[in-house]
Amino acid sequence: MIENQNTHEAHAHSYGIYILVWLGLLALTVVTVTVAGLNFGALTVGTALLIASVKSFLVLKIFMHLNVEQKVFKVFVGVALLFIVISFALLFADYSFLRV
């Protein structure tokens, strides 16, 4: 096996997991639309973002192959997401206490 190159393995690759994830994503879409109809008050945005995050996690892990990718990919994605979270935290640390 040549390092760092895609090679063709003898065993067949399975379609099943992708279809399963797709069904999960559609189900979560139904959940997020249904939940939006209910009134959770301040929790509504949080619920919507939580469901969107779960959906993104599934896409990243299975569709984008992070589950089988080398560790460095996971670290890179983790760092990128961490900086987005930090930026949002700093942004709202500021705006939450803004008096206009």
Whole-number Å distance between alpha carbons of 94 and 83: 17
Tokens of 92: 């709202």
Tokens of 19: 């279809």
Contacts (CB under 8 A) with another protein, residues 60-99? 60, 62-65, 69-70, 72-73, 76-77, 80, 84, 87-88, 91-92, 95-96
Residues 6+ apart with CB under 8 A from 21: 58, 59, 62, 63
Whole-number Å distance between alpha carbons of 39 and 34: 10
Q: Which of 7, 41, 68, 71 touches another protein (CB under 8 A)? A: 7
Task: List interacting residues with another protein (CB under 8 A).
Answer: 4-8, 12-15, 18-19, 21-22, 25-26, 29, 32-33, 36-37, 39, 44-45, 48-49, 51-52, 55-56, 59-60, 62-65, 69-70, 72-73, 76-77, 80, 84, 87-88, 91-92, 95-96, 100
